[in-house]
Amino acid sequence: MHKVLLVEDDPLVSLLIREELEACGYYVTCAGTAPEALRAIEQPRSFEALVTDIDLGGPTDGFGVARCFRAVYPEIPVVFISGAPGIRYRTEAVKPSSFLPKPFVMHELTDTLERVLH
């Protein structure tokens, strides 16, 4: 079972993604804000992937969360999700990573996770 940290500030979107990932066999830890995500990263868990929205509505965005995540888990895949155009992703994202524009069909996320995890 792959352990995923999901960072999404919209509670409904977070719930839908979590339920889909859990139905596909993932263990999901959810964070609704960057500070929650940073606290989760500091806990002794062994995450295998990060899925993060880019715009988290606070001073720290998904790119900042990903940089902190990679400091703790340097080899772990990151999947950015966003309703904004991917232009910022190309310049600010940690590498390597993937970008999935919202809205997406849930199997696109699970396919992306499977691809980056294997």
Task: Write the Ramachandran bin of 57: left for phi over 0, alpha for psi from -120 to 50, otherwise beta.
Answer: left
Distance between CA atoms of residues 91 and 41, nearest Å: 24
34, 61 in Cβ contact below 8 A?
yes
Give the pTM.
Answer: 0.94
* pLDDT tens readout for residues 56-81: 988 999 999 999 999 998 989 999 99
Look up residue 26 and give its DSSP letter: -
Distance between CA atoms of residues 99 and 43, nearest Å: 26
* pLDDT tens readout for residues 4-52: 999 999 999 999 999 999 999 999 999 999 999 999 998 877 899 999 9
Q: Which are the contacts of 33, defined by CB distance < 8 A and separation ≥ 6?
A: 9, 56, 57, 58
